[in-house]
C-alpha cells in the first residue's frame, strides 16, 4: 500500500564512524510505490545498499518506509535501480530544461530523502529497467541518453564525472583502510544489453573491458558486485514457458564469461553479488566457478513484493509455488522463515562483517520490515578465498551436485514440473 511522504526539515546529522571500526554493516533492498504530496506515484524497482557501523542506536528510516535498520548508524547509501519511475519512464520526451523533468526530480528527491532520514553523507547507485525507462528494456530503448542524465543528476554526480561522458552508468568505489577495504562495483545491465532470448551481450564490449581492469586491479578484502538482475539464480529455466524472469542465466555465454573473469582475477578473492528485480528475497550460491562459493544476495521489495501483488488470502499459493519450484542454487537451511527459503513480503538485505573475528566473519541476511532475519548465511573471508579451482570443473555430464549443477541440467520432468502442474490444472478447469 502506498504511503504519503511529506517533505520534512533536515534532521540533525548523525555522527559517522570510521570505516576501520570492527564491524561493517551493509543494507540493501527495494524502493517503490510511495506517493508524495502532489499525488505523483513514485515507483522504483530494485535495490538499495547502505554501509554502517554498529552505533548502539535504533535507526528507523521513516514511518513511510516502515523499515527498522536495528542498531546501526548509516554512513553510505549504495543504491541501484532506486530512481523513481516518474522521473524517466513517463512517455514524455524530457529536455534538460524541462519543467516537468525538474519537478519529477525534486519530487523523487523528497521521497528518497525522507526515507533515508537525510543522514547519508554519500549516495551512489545504478539502475534497473523501470528506472532505465521501459520494462525489461535493453540497448534498444531510445530514451537511454536522457535517462542516464536524469539518473546522474539524481545521484548528484559531478558534471565533470567520467560517468557523464561514457555510454552507461557503470562505476566502482573503494572504501576503508588497506587491510579492510571493500570494493563496490556497480554494473549497468541495461544500456548495452542485447534482446532477451538472443544469448548476446549484457554489458557490451566497453563495459567488459572496464570490468576486467577493475577486477584485475589492486586487491581488496571484499568485492561487492551490484547487478540489478540476478546473477546466480536462473528461475526462467524452471518457470518457462509459463513466465520468464530476467537474469544472467538467460545469457549463458555472458554469465560464463563473468565467472571466468572473476576466477582469472588471481589477486581478488572475496567476491559476491547483490541483486534485485524479482520482488522477493533469496540467497543463492554457485560453487563451480571461482574456487570458492559465489553468493548472490537478492533483496527485492522494501515496498513492492510479490505477495503484495495478490490478495492476502492467496499468499499461500505464492508460497506453495515457491516451495514446489525446483532449485539447484538456492541456499536452503534452518535459517529460513519459509520452507522455500524465499521471502515474498517486503524485505531488505543486510551484510555484516566482523573484522575482529578470527577468521573475519561475513553474515549475509534478508530481513523483514521489522529488521528480523528471514534468510541467513554465515561465512568467513577464509571461505571466500580460492582453494582448488581445478577440482571445481570435474563434475561429469549428467551428475548432480548441489550449488554446482545448473537449473538447465535438471531432468526434464523435474525442471518443468511447475508447467506440468499449471497445464494440468488448466485442462481440468476447462474440461
pLDDT digits (tens, 9 = 90+) for 230-280: 999 988 888 888 888 899 999 999 999 999 999 998 778 899 999 988 999
* Cα dihedral sign, 253-255-256-257: positive
Nearest to 79 by CA among 102, 58, 51: 51
Describe the strand order of the beta sheet including 294-298 as a list of residue ranges.
171-175, 182-186, 222-226, 271-275, 294-298, 281-286, 342-343
Strand 123-126 to 68-80 pairing:
parallel
114 CA to centre of own chain: 22
State residue 185's pLDDT score: 94
Q: What angle do CA 331, 360, 223 make, to 5 degrees?
A: 65
111-387+399-428: which CATH architecture? 2-Layer Sandwich (3.30)
Residue 88 confidence class, pLDDT cut points 50, 70, 90: very low
Please state, in angstroms and rounded to a whole number, the distance separating the CA atoms of residues 394 and 165.
44
261: left (phi over 0), alpha (psi -120 to 50) or beta: alpha
Distance separating alpha carbons of residues 378 and 286, to the nearest angstrom: 15
pLDDT at residue 73 in the model? 35
Confidence of residue 24 (pLDDT cuts 50, 70, 90): low
Confidence band of 123 (pLDDT split at 50, 70, 90): low
**Residue 223: its pLDDT value, please?**
94
68-80 and 48-60 strand pairing: antiparallel
| Mean per-residue pLDDT over the chain, rounded | 74
For residue 55, the model assigns a pLDDT of 29
Confidence of residue 81 (pLDDT cuts 50, 70, 90): very low
- Exposed, middle or buried by CB within 10 Å (0-12, 13-18, 19+), for 280? buried
Question: Is the pLDDT assigned to residue 328 strictly greater than 70?
Answer: yes
Indicate the pLDDT class of residue 137, thresholds 50, 70 and 90: very high
pLDDT computed for residue 398 by the predictor? 67
Which of the four pLDDT bands, split at 50, 70 and 90, describes residue 98? very low
User: Residue ranges of the domains in the chain?
Assistant: 111-387+399-428
Q: From CA 420, how far away is CA 426, in angstroms rounded? A: 10
342-382 pLDDT per residue, tens: 999 988 888 888 888 999 999 999 988 888 999 999 999 99
Amino acid at each position: 500500500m502506498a504511503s504519503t511522504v511529506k517533505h520534512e526539515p533536515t534532521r540533525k546529522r548523525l555522527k559517522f564512524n570510521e570505516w576501520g571500526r570492527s564491524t561493517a554493516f551493509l543494507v540493501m533492498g527495494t524502493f517503490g510505490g510511495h506517493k508524495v504530496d502532489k499525488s505523483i506515484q513514485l515507483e522504483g524497482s530494485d535495490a538499495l545498499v547502505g554501509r554502517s557501523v554498529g552505533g548502539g542506536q535504533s535507526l528507523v528510516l521513516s514511518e513511510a518506509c516502515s523499515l527498522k535498520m536495528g542498531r546501526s548508524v548509516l554512513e553510505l547509501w549504495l543504491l541501484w535501480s532506486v530512481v523513481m519511475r516518474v522521473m524517466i519512464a513517463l512517455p514524455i520526451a524530457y529536455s534538460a530544461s524541462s519543467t516537468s523533468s525538474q519537478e519529477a526530480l525534486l519530487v523523487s528527491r523528497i521521497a528518497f530523502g525522507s526515507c533515508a532520514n537525510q543522514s547519508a553523507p554519500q549516495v551512489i547507485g545504478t539502475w534497473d529497467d523501470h528506472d532505465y525507462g521501459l520494462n525489461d528494456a535493453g540497448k534498444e530503448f531510445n530514451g537511454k541518453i536522457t535517462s542516464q542524465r536524469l539518473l546522474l543528476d539524481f545521484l548528484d554526480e559531478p558534471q565533470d564525472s567520467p560517468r557523464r561522458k561514457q555510454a552507461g552508468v557503470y562505476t566502482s568505489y573503494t572504501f576503508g583502510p588497506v587491510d579492510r577495504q571493500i570494493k563496490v562495483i556497480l554494473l549497468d545491465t541495461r544500456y548495452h544489453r542485447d534482446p532477451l532470448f538472443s544469448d548476446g551481450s549484457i554489458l557490451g564490449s566497453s563495459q567488459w573491458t572496464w570490468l576486467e581492469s577493475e577486477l584485475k586491479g589492486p586487491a581488496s578484502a571484499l568485492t561487492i558486485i551490484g547487478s540489478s538482475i540476478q546473477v546466480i539464480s536462473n528461475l526462467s529455466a524452471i518457470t518457462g514457458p509459463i513466465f520468464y524472469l530476467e537474469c544472467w542465466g538467460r545469457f549463458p555465454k555472458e554469465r560464463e564469461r563473468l565467472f571466468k573473469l572473476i576466477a582469472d582475477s588471481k589477486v581478488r578473492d572475496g567476491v559476491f553479488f547483490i541483486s534485485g528485480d524479482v520482488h522477493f528475497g533469496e540467497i543463492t550460491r554457485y560453487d563451480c566457478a571461482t574456487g570458492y562459493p559465489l553468493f548472490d544476495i537478492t533483496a527485492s521489495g522494501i515496498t513492492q513484493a510479490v505477495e503484495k501483488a495478490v490478495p492476502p488470502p492467496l499468499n499461500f499459493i505464492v508460497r506453495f509455488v515457491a516451495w514446489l519450484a525446483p532449485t539447484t542454487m538456492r541456499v536452503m537451511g534452518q535459517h529460513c522463515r519459509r520452507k522455500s527459503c524465499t521471502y515474498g513480503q517486503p524485505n531488505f538485505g543486510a551484510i555484516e562483517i566482523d573484522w575482529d573475528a578470527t577468521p573475519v566473519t561475513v553474515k549475509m541476511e534478508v530481513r523483514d520490515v521489522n529488521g528480523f532475519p528471514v534468510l541467513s548465511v554465515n561465512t568467513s573471508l577464509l571461505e571466500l578465498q580460492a582453494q582448488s579451482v581445478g577440482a571445481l570443473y570435474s563434475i561429469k555430464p549428467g551428475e548432480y551436485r548441489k550449488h554446482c549443477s545448473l537449473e538447465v541440467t535438471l531432468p526434464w520432468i523435474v525442471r518443468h514440473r511447475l508447467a506440468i502442474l499449471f497445464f494440468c490444472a488448466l485442462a481440468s478447469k476447462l474440461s
